[in-house]
Amino acid sequence: MSVKIDVRNLSFSYNRQNVLASVNLKVETNSILGIMGPAKSGKTTLLRIFNRLCDLIPNIRIEGEVFLDGENILHPDLNVDKLRRRVGMVFAKPVPLPRSIFENLAYGPKLHGIKDKKRLEELVERSLRLAILWDEVKDRLHESALKLSGGQQQRLCIARTLAMEPEVILLDEPTYGLDPISTLKIEEALRRLKESYTIVLVSNNTWQVARISDNVAFLLMGELVEYGSAHEIFTVPKDKRTNDYISGRFG
Amino acid sequence: MATRINPVLLQRIVKAQLWSLTGFIIGILLFIICFISIKGLPQLTPEFLTSNPVDMGRSGGIFSTILCTLYLIFVSLMIAVPLGVGAAIYLTEYTRESRVTYIIRFGTECLAGIPSIILGLFGFAFFVMALRFGWSILSGGMTMSIMLLPTIIRTSEESIKAVPYELREVSFSLGVTRWQTVTRVVLPSALPGIVTGIVLGVARCIEETAVVIFTVGSSLRLPGSFFDSGRTMAVHFYILAREGISMPNAYGTAAILILSILFINLVAYYLMRRFLKKYAIVL
Amino acid sequence: MREKLIEKILMLLAFSAIGALLLMAIFIFKEGLPIIIKVGIKDFLFSTHWAPTKDYFGIFSMIVSSLFVTTGALIIGVPLALACAITLAEFAPPRLMSILKPTIELLAGIPSVVYGFLGVVLLVPLIRDYLGGPGLSLLAASIILAIMILPTITSISIDAIQAVPYSYKEGSLALGATHWQTIRMVILKAARSGIITAVMLGMARAIGETMAVIMVAGNALKLPISPLDPVRTLTSNIALEMGYAAGDHRAALFATGIVLFVFIMIFNVSANIITKRWRRE
């Protein structure tokens, strides 16, 4: 299997506090990597390094390299805007823009030069179908996105990321606080999406990670404790801490 | 305490006194408005508003003053709004708190405290004399814009800061540049607050007299261009009242001054309410 | 790239306020400093003899007048404003408040010239008939200024009082204190910094006010002895004589501006320091 993202000796600190220490892992193309671990392990920070959103934090120090298709994305001269078009992100709390559903999805593509109305409409429909939201909103595309339910808004955010036609999708606790049905719909959407995209998912919910990941990384206090296929990690974990975490001895 | 007044009785006495004081104060303030309205509103006929002053203002209307006021507002805003909103954007979106931002903020606050007469003095020395613009709407506008700057910067900054941080994150994560994020996401959401600051600036332009007399002058001619001198409504009122030229016209001018400022403040108030309501719902 | 250019432009815009301030300071000092040097700062500030046509430039009587007028305005205005603020914030039912507070804020927008005019038409005759003197007086100026700064001080004080956490009030009442005792001992103390800010803003407005004062203060060049004396403040002096001043006379008016400018800067800086210290507490 080919490697989409290759993380080598990644260390990260801000305000002199170490958040990640020498992380090494590979994300396979067209797979779902689940990153799990208790709170404050550095999971979200790792995710934000993948699309350089970490740049927004003041006083940071990064060491190591992160290769996306062989290109080091930590290089200071890298065009981060272009990177973020290739690597999209869905946040834990659904944040629709205060606009219509259609405008939410068209926001990114329009600003990157897609003006053709027909192309935009196709893009919007395709993204909404992939996010399993199309049937619910197809008749009200021009209504405000703020009127949607929490689960629908989160799927909207997924669709919004898909509208940029990225290669990688990062999801930070995407089903946190959502009802079980929305959670199932989103997990189903992710399963379908991995055929065409590479997905990295951060979740506090070990069950979810077990359900949908191909590979799993267990982060504990900034250290990558164990990394392997989902099957291995959940049946024969190599590290005692992994075992303890999975069995719920701490969390 | 040896002898105490019953605290409940004391409270009743205090409450009664406070209420009567408050009533007295509010009464005075309302009286002011009513007095001007009664004496001045009857003057506000369409002819008064659309004809020019005749005979130094003894008769005729106040049209040229209305026009001059509008021109002044226009020039002042044209300068103050880009400067003020731009400064606010820079302070909130492009820098972190540092020595530089502290200096900028300190300077802005000091500017806010400068009395209008000193601004008038400066406007006269610099724009009218040194730059040779003469008494003109241009001189007045440029001086007034300095006066409006702190308010616009302050209100713009507050309303930009009120836009939730997550909206910016979402925009960046889609690969949208900072400036595009500011113009397409932040500013539209911050607009009601920004407009409130602008509206308050307009009210300032209308009521300001000291600065205007020294920079725009007091010519009663209909201003043809921004280089012309002119007389704003506030200055006209001042001259009418001080020289005792025409009491009815003075009251009329006062009435329209108060009316326009009250109206503008109402607009600003309504905008702020809408702005606050919007963010109570969203996040 | 384009983004860098935009950032540079915005930074320039941000410095405009400072730039304007510096420009103002430079110009006013440039015009006014020579005359201060010529006359001597001690004579300029402390002589009561102001006769520009005869080359006498002493502004002491005007400094004193400005101080008295402002102090008078504060003495009259602050207690009234606080009484209003307390009544509205603590005793008034919410519905009444939602009408009255905006009304007070709207009243802050009445132009100063209108206040001055009403002062001349209504207040000055009252003073003249019942208290004596020409009517145009220190007292009239203080009263008018007090009314002018009332809305500002009141509305900001109301905000400060309303910002006091409800738990403070609850705690005090639960201990058996009456409402008024709670206000006096708990709420006012907690709202202190906000109220002081309100008073300072009112004071700044009073010091800088020109037009209304010109219309009611009488503008005589004497050192005021009684509140019924006509006075001329620093700001009035500049406004009245600027129109026809030339040469040294004009420079002296700029010099007066320097005095005001310096005083305001000192006031601002100390207000800044004080509010920071309050906030730290």
Tokens (6 digits) for B97: 């708190």
Nearest to B175 among A81, A91, A157 (CB): A81
Q: Each residue of C199-211: pLDDT tens digit?
A: 888 888 888 888 8
pLDDT at B281: 44
Of C204, C189, C191, C183, the closest CA to residue C158 belongs to C191
Pick out chain C residues at pLDDT < 70: 278-281
Q: How far apart are CA A200 and CA A197, in angstroms?
A: 10
What residues of chain B lie within 8 A of the CB of A57, using their CB? none
Q: Is B30 on the interface with A (CB under 8 A)?
A: no
pLDDT at B278: 61
Best probe of the A interface among B166, B168, B171, B173, by most A CBs < 10 A, is B173
Separation in Å, CA of B198 to nearest CA in chain A: 23
Best probe of the A interface among B174, B177, B283, by most A CBs < 10 A, is B174
Q: Which residues are bridge partners to A32 per DSSP?
A: A199
pLDDT at C250: 86
Best probe of the B interface among A53, A81, A200, by most B CBs < 10 A, is A81
Query: What pTM, to 2 d.p., does this model score?
Result: 0.86
Which C positions 5-34 lie with beta carbon below 8 A of chain B? 6-7, 9-11, 13-18, 20-21, 23-24, 27-28, 31
- Give the containing element (helix H, strand E) for C275: helix C248-280
The amino acid present at C128, given as its one-letter code, is: R
**Beta strands A32-36 and A215-220, pairing class:** parallel
pLDDT at C279: 66
Nearest to A112 among B171, B175, B189 (CB): B175
* Cα B221 to Cα A211, B52, B57, B62, C9, distances in angstroms: 82, 9, 11, 11, 39
Tokens (6 digits) for A97: 């823009």
Contact flag A88-B174 (C-beta cutoff 8 Å): yes
Q: What is the mean pLDDT of chain B?
A: 85
Q: How far apart are CA C111 and CA C116, in angstroms?
A: 9
Q: Each residue of B63-120: pLDDT tens digit?
A: 888 889 999 999 999 999 999 999 999 999 888 878 888 888 888 888 888 889 999 9
Residue C271 CB-half CA count within 13 A: 21
Contact flag B173-A82 (C-beta cutoff 8 Å): no
Any chains having at least 3 CB pairs less than 8 A from chain A are B
pLDDT at C281: 57
Nearest to B18 among C83, C103, C261 (CB): C83
Q: Each residue of B184-205: pLDDT tens digit?
A: 999 998 888 898 889 888 988 9
DSSP 8-state code for residue C88: I
Separation in Å, CA of A15 to nearest CA in chain B: 15
Give the list of residues 6+ apart from residue A245 with CB closer than 8 angstroms, or none: A36, A37, A38, A206, A218, A220, A251
Contact flag A85-B175 (C-beta cutoff 8 Å): yes
**pLDDT bracket for residue B41 (50, 70, 90):** confident
Higher pLDDT, C113 or B274: C113
**pLDDT bracket for residue B279 (50, 70, 90):** low
Q: Is C86 on the interface with B (CB under 8 A)?
A: yes
Higher pLDDT, A159 or C163: A159
How many helices (H) and strands (E) in chain A? 10, 10
pLDDT at C37: 85
Contact flag C31-B125 (C-beta cutoff 8 Å): yes
Percent pLDDT > 90 in chain A is 68
Nearest to B179 among C3, C180, C264 (CB): C3
pLDDT at C58: 81
Of A8, A108, A96, A12, the closest CA to residue A54 belongs to A12
* Cα A48 to Cα A12, A84, A105, A157, distances in angstroms: 11, 11, 22, 17
The amino acid present at C67, given as its one-letter code, is: L
Q: Is C75 on the interface with B (CB under 8 A)?
A: no
Contact flag B121-C3 (C-beta cutoff 8 Å): no
**pLDDT bracket for residue A62 (50, 70, 90):** very high
Of B69, B97, B38, B76, the closest CA to residue B248 belongs to B38
